[in-house]
Amino acid sequence: MEEQFPIWQYVTEEGELVQPEIDIDEAVSRAFYQYMSRARMMDQKCVNLQRQGRIGTYVPYEGQEAAQVGSALAIEDGDWMFPTYRDHAATMTHGQSLHNLLLYWRGRLEGSVPPEGKNIFPPAVPIASQLLHATGVAWAEKKKNSDRVSIVYFGDGATSEGDFHEGLNFASVFKTPTIFLNQNNGYAISVPVEKQMNSKTIAQKGLGYDIPSLRVDGNDILAVYYETRKAVERARRGDGPTLIEAVTWRYGAHTTADDPSKYRDQRESEERRSSTDPLMRLERFMRKQGWWSDAWKEDMEAGITEEINQALKDVDRHPRSEVDQLFDNVFAKPTWTIEKQRQHHTNINEGAKS
């Protein structure tokens, strides 16, 4: 299966371009690098904020920027995005504001609201549930005779869930314009991929549903972008879904409440930072093309820092979220079970105050 599904690579770890037919220039390369830098700097800031007690448990993605940013840049305004709790690099690339991203991690409802004209669903915390949403929305768009597509993100662990198979089966039968973007970082929380499935690849799981499937180097933003764009163009033509397995690596923990050293040799993460890192790879490529400038990088990072700090200042002006909001918007009209839980919570609070 690994021979049938080779890993597509456009730029090697050393920065050598191996797919010279692609249309890439200095402006595009800089844009790719800036989007990834913005995502990484935001991620690092959020980890620090969690350690300071200024946001709740956070889900980092450092190391997976190319898989998220490259795929997000391949879709258009009006297309649909279905992220997990780890795909903020994708949502912020597609237009979600840093302000709302921070509100989300503060537990405020507004944090899940996308900008006007952007179809970004709230991050899915239940594993694989968003695949069904993405498939259903894509089917609706097809029935409306629009050319809108949906892209859905999920990890390797999600492929062991029933929703994954139901989503692929439905998408295959009805030829929905859905791009299934898997980020295979080798671990479903603490379980290595070889212990949670017997398949050699995730891409091969598309064979059972007759869905075109492929693997890409998830640390190569050019490979992710161009192969995702092909899948998007295919979906717009009405040729149905595509399953993409982006083989990548996350440096940090599953969440800030997790200790990866318990189940993973962290030395591998440090080694990857100097070899397969997505930002380092693109920098090496740009240097070889004569497009790199240290001064440009410094100015860019200064601008991103200012943007992040301003978003944080704005978020700090919001009052803290109230626990009572947990019971709102579960149903259009609250059921008796929800009201019972709300009353129970109220009773506990009143008892604590007295």
Q: Is the pLDDT of residue 37 over 80?
A: yes
Across residues 35-39, what is the average pLDDT? 98
Q: Is the pLDDT of residue 354 over 90?
A: no
Q: Is 263 a catalytic residue?
A: yes
Q: Is 254 a catalytic residue?
A: yes
pLDDT per residue as tens digits for the range 124-168: 999 999 999 999 999 999 999 999 999 999 999 999 999 999 999
Task: Give yes or no: residues 189 and 306 share one domain.
Answer: yes
Task: Give yes or no: residues 350 and 228 share one domain.
Answer: no
Where does residue 118 rank: exposed (0-12), middle (13-18), buried (19+ CB within 10 A)?
middle
Structural domain span for residue 336: 322-354
pTM of the shown model: 0.94
Token couple for 293:
């400038």
Task: Give yes or no: residues 145 and 253 share one domain.
Answer: yes
Task: Give yes or no: residues 263 and 139 share one domain.
Answer: yes
Q: Which of 250, 272, 281, 284 is catalytic?
A: 250
Query: Do the domain assignments include residue 1?
Result: no
Task: Give yes or no: residues 332 and 238 share one domain.
Answer: no
Task: Give yes or no: residues 313 and 347 share one domain.
Answer: no
Task: Give yes or no: residues 348 and 236 share one domain.
Answer: no
Nearest to 157 by CA among 84, 263, 62, 257: 84
Task: Give yes or no: residues 193 and 330 share one domain.
Answer: no
Say if residues 104 and 55 touch (Cβ distance below 8 Å).
no
Q: How many domains is the chain partitioned into structurally?
A: 2
Residue 259 maps to which CATH number? 3.40.50.970
Across the strands, what pairs with 213? Answer: 243
Q: Which of 30, 94, 99, 254 is catalytic?
A: 254
Task: Give yes or no: residues 316 and 329 share one domain.
Answer: no
pLDDT per residue as tens digits for the range 283-337: 999 999 999 999 999 999 999 999 999 999 999 999 888 887 888 888 889 899 9
Task: Give yes or no: residues 142 and 186 share one domain.
Answer: yes
pLDDT per residue as tens digits for the range 323-337: 878 888 888 898 999
Q: Which of 51, 237, 263, 287 is catalytic?
A: 263
Query: Do the domain assignments include residue 2?
Result: no
Task: Give yes or no: residues 261 and 167 share one domain.
Answer: yes
